[in-house]
Amino acid sequence: MKTLVVGLGGVTNGGKTTLAEKLKKMLPNCDVICQDDFFKPESEVETDERGFKLYDVLDALYMDELVGSIHSWLKSRTSSGVVTGEPQKNTEVCILIVEGFLLFNYEPLNEVWNRRYFLTLPYEECKRRRSTRVYQPADKPGYFDGHVWPMYLKYKNELEESASNIVYLDGTKSQEELLSCMYSDIIQELKKPRE
């Protein structure tokens, strides 16, 4: 049984969850893990001097548990899966999509990715989308500009300086266009020989 692990990271409100769920429906034998499911409880998240809860940092997440979930998925795959379309190879593949805003800045995850995608948005569009969402706890006034956006820029800059093999996607494009791009790319990846 071969596996393909796809990381879908990027900006808050960039469309990661929507794309991951749509891809799951399109790709047979595909599962999704959401990084948001690994947030620590509010009481364990640090607060800065402005009173902002620091959710947009790795310390706000149970990252070891996320890594453990991915490794458990890799170990538990069975022999039902996707046929790559090449009759002579006829190899079945299980696909895992891991989506979240801080996936590629955490060293222990770097060994698991077969493909990495990073959604970007310009500041104004990101802020507009973020303002339409309701969070628990709710965003305080100034939270986006004081914490969320600066942390996104920090982690994005780190990626651009150190990480390779990341496909950057423009989150202002239509969901259909982004979905088509990712789907085609994943299908191409499935056709490559696996170890």
Write out the two tokens for 97.
Answer: 């999509």
Amino acid letter, residue 137: P
2-10/92-99 β-pairing: parallel
- Annotated active-site residue in 36, 37, 48, 145: 36
Is 36 assigned a catalytic role? yes
Spatial distance between the Cα atoms of 179 and 177, rounded to a whole number of angstroms:
5
Phi (first) and psi of residue 8, to 5 degrees: -125, 95
Give CA–CA dist 86/181, Å, rounded. 21
Q: Helical H runs in 77-138?
A: 123-131
Please give the positions annotated as active site. Answer: 36
